[in-house]
Structure formats: C-alpha cells, structure tokens
C-alpha cells in the first residue's frame, strides 16, 4: 500500500485549501508554495474544488495536490479524474474502505474513535486522520492510542492551530498536523496572500 507520509517527506504541515473559485485556489496554493510547502490538500466542499485541483496541478506542477472530503465512490472517481495525488476522507465505513481498496494513490481514512481506528487497521491502513481532532479527544486521545495501536500513526486535523500544533507534533504517533488556520477566510477574501505565506512559514518553524 502506498504511503502518504512518504509522499509528504519531511513536511509536517498538511495545509488545507478551501476555495470558492479557481483563482482563489491557485493564489492560496502559490502563497503556500512560497513558504516551501510541497504538498497541499484541497477539500471538496465548494463547487469549484475539482477545478481548483486541476488548475493547481497545471500552474504549479511541482506541488503534490490531494483531495479531501471524499465520502463515496462518485466523489472518489471525480477526485482521481481531476488528478489528485492522494485521497483523504473525513470519516470511515466498511463500504467506503471497500471502495478505496483499489485506489491507485495513497489514502488517509478519517477516524474519530477506537472503532474507526480498528476498522481502518483491519483494511490495512496504518496512517489515519483524526477528525475533528479537538472534538475527538485531541492530543490526550492520541497519546492514549499510542499503546493500544502501536503500529498506527496519525495526521490530526480540526481545531489545530499555531498555539497547539506543537502539542500534537510532540507525540510519537503523529507524523503531521493539518488545518486551515494558515489560510484564514478573511485573508483569502482580501487577497492577503503574503499572510498565508507567513503563517505557513511560522507553522513550519521557519520564522
């Protein structure tokens, strides 16, 4: 099975892009890339999302671009057709995991409790997304999972920010953290792209 962490390399920040237009999405991606980011996730929560993935891959071919919010076969196929380099789900189910079994790119299933973790593990996944992290026990939950599921590592998202990311990244079973705090909606609306670059640098400890 392909490894998402290998795709990320040394990057420990998974920056999430939510854009209302292709232009917005590309500018956000450019701002993130300017901080040294090599991989981004586009959440499929707006009508423009699939076109955003295509546009970023066309205009910034060095960036790895994945699709988030994949919840069924139709969305999976659309995401792969758009050129997604990886797939992330917000939740998991037996049906969804069966759908993902032959996915040609790395997959990170979303989990929120021990049953989800066990189910995903039974399907062969050892890299999971805890979502929403802050509402699912946070760093304390992940710390407890370290001794129960010693072969599982996590990329928590949801409620992560600059002030608490270090608490998560200090855990041995956390390989990255994800979030949208590095691209606040007001910055996007006001085209304050430099603020996104600065936030991404800060999140990576570059400032």
Q: What is the pLDDT of residues 128-162, one digit of tens each?
A: 999 999 999 999 999 999 999 999 999 999 999 99
Distance between CA atoms of 25 and 32, rounded to whole angstroms? 11
Instruction: For 111-130, write each residue's pLDDT tens digit.
Output: 999 999 999 999 999 999 99
* Percentage, residues of the chain above pLDDT 70: 99
What would the pLDDT profile of 182-193 be if each residue is shown by its tens digit? 999 999 999 999
pTM of the predicted model as reported, rounded to 2 decimal places: 0.96
Domains and CATH numbers, the chain: 12-203 (3.20.20.70)
Instruction: Please list the active-site residues.
Output: 41, 129
**What residues contact 70, with CB distance under 8 A and at least 6 apart?**
44, 76, 79, 87, 88, 89
Q: What band does 206 get if pLDDT is binned at 50, 70 and 90? A: confident
Which of 199, 207, 197 is closest to 30 using CA atoms?
197
3-state secondary structure of 142: helix
């Amino acid at each position: 099975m392909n490894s998402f962490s290998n795709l990320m390399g040394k990057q420990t920040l998974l920056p999430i892009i939510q854009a209302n237009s292709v232009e917005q999405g590309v500018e956000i991606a450019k701002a993130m890339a300017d901080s040294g980011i090599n991989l981004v996730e586009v959440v499929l929560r707006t009508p423009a999302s699939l076109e955003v993935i295509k546009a970023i891959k066309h205009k910034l071919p060095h960036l790895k671009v994945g699709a988030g919010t994949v919840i069924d076969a139709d969305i999976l196929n659309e995401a792969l057709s758009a050129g997604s380099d990886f797939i992330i789900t917000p939740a998991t189910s037996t049906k969804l995991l069966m759908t993902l079994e032959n996915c040609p790119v790395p997959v990170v299933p979303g989990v929120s409790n021990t049953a989800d973790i066990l189910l995903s593990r039974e399907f062969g996944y050892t890299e999971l997304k805890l979502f929403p992290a802050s509402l699912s026990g946070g760093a304390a939950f992940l710390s407890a999972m370290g001794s129960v599921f010693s072969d599982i590592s996590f990329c928590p998202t949801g409620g992560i920010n600059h002030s608490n990311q270090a608490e998560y990244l200090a855990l041995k079973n956390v390989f990255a953290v994800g979030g949208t705090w590095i691209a606040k909606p007001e910055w996007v609306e006001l085209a304050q792209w430099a603020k996104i670059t600065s936030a991404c640098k800060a999140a990576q400890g570059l400032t």
